[in-house]
Amino acid sequence: MPLFTGAYADPLASSTHTTMQSVLNATRQTLSLSGAPNVNNLALIVVALTGFEHRQDHPWAALREQEEHYSGSLLKIAAMYGAFDLRASADQLATAGSLTTWPQIEAALTSTFNPEIVAHTPSLISGSPLLRPQDKTRKPDYSTVLGLGTGPQFIVDFTQAQVDAFENMMVVQDNPGATTTIHGLGYPYLSGKIADDGFFDGASKGMWLAGDYARIWPAARIACVNDVDTAQGTTVRHLAKLMTLLADGDLVGPLSSQGMKALMGRAGNFFHQTTPPIWPTDGRFIATHGKVGIGRLKSDKPVFSEALIVHDSLRDLRFVAIWQNVIQDGQAQRKLLEPVATLIEATINSLIP
């Protein structure tokens, strides 16, 4: 069973939705004229889910959707997805080979997957002047990430240490679990998988995760719009493709999508953490799944981002919403996020199902 299977079909293959885009542009212009912070540099995308599941024509609208931005902790989504994909591929390999013991499985993973990882390592990793030789050639630490499954669903499943790492990085939204996960996967596999699946263009745009959130390993960096360069960046367009596939249950597979959504469903989000909350849990717009991105630019200014699955409870419609490049420069956090919420709400309201 191959580890690298090529790009997913793009669920956002259609052009932007005319009405959604028009309303988003008009709302941004109104907010800009009123002096709302960040709206002129905000990258944002809203994607309709309900009624378009498993299709390539999800309606969507966006601002600055092709700009690469430093996104901080938002890219922990990529580490989670890379680990879930490795588990699924390992499970398929063990099933196909009727392998029943961990030494058999680990030997098969090493002999089958490691040559594929070498072949798919992006030149941005293998040729990076910022990385050490060992960083350019690492392979997954299979026994750290994976082991024999104990339930009926997977022959190969995550170790308890990896389960704990997911909890720390996706639910608690802390750094140690992300470091554990990235060290277990290695930059060559992680970056190669992201690019091969169509979430990075191989040169300069898309989901890029080549830093370990602890500065234990050196980082490989690419250019970005909101900072000098980044080891944890994305465009909202590439991340929206991944999040839409996840929401539809098509990322890796239905069971894996369910597992990833379960983690994000227990995570907090910025809207709930403001006082008072911008989107209260009993309100019309409910963030059912989320991942926050918090970091600091090289100017030392905080920068925020977020990926959400949103439920419009009034009309029972679901959307993906991703935003980034909200820079804090003396404003209260709630004031920073109000324009973001306004833009998302206006875009959602504009879609007539």
Q: Is the pLDDT of residue 70 over 80?
A: yes
Give the tens place of pLDDT for each residue, 176-188: 999 999 999 999 9
pLDDT, residue 203, reads 85
pLDDT score of 158 more than 90:
yes
Q: What is the pLDDT of residues 297-346, one digit of tens each?
A: 999 999 999 999 999 999 999 999 999 999 998 888 899 999 999 999 99
Q: How confident is the model at residue 1 (pLDDT cuts 50, 70, 90)?
A: confident
Radius of gyration of the chain (CA): 20
How many CB atoms lie under 10 A from the CB of residue 96?
Answer: 10
- pLDDT tens figures, 118-137: 999 999 999 999 999 999 99
Supply the angle between the helices 76-96 and 254-265 in degrees, to the nearest 10: 150
Paired tokens of 207: 């989901």
Q: Average pLDDT in the 187-195 region?
A: 98
Under 8 Å CB-to-CB from 299, ≥6 apart: which residues? Answer: none
Given a contact cutoff of 8 angstroms between Cβ atoms, the answer to whether 235 and 246 are in contact is no
Residues paired with 319 in a beta bridge: 48, 310
For residue 344, the model assigns a pLDDT of: 98
Domains of the chain: 18-72+236-350 (3.30.450), 75-232 (no CATH)
- CA dist., res. 73 & res. 120, Å (int): 25
Report whether pLDDT(269) > 90.
Answer: no
In angstroms, rounded to a whole number, what is the distance separating the alpha carbons of residues 132 and 187? Answer: 12
pLDDT score, position 262 = 97
pLDDT for residue 167: 98
At 38-47, the pLDDT tens digits run: 999 999 999 9
Q: What is the pLDDT of residues 217-249, one digit of tens each?
A: 999 999 999 999 999 999 999 999 999 999 999
233 Rama class: left (phi>0) / alpha (psi -120 to 50) / beta: beta
Q: Report the 3 state secondary structure along 26-83.
A: HHHHHHHHCCCCCCCCCEEEEEECCCCCCCCECCEEEECCCCCEECHHHHHHHHHHHH
Residue 330's pLDDT is 87
Average pLDDT, the chain: 96
Q: Mean pLDDT over residues 256-281, rounded?
A: 90
Mean pLDDT throughout 71-98? 97
CA distance 194 to 78: 8
Residue indicated by tokens 């890219």: 75
Quote the CA–CA distance of 280 and 345 in Å, as a whole number: 14
| pLDDT-derived band at 107, boundaries 50, 70, 90 | very high
Average pLDDT score over residue span 60-64: 98
Does 268 have pLDDT greater than 80? no
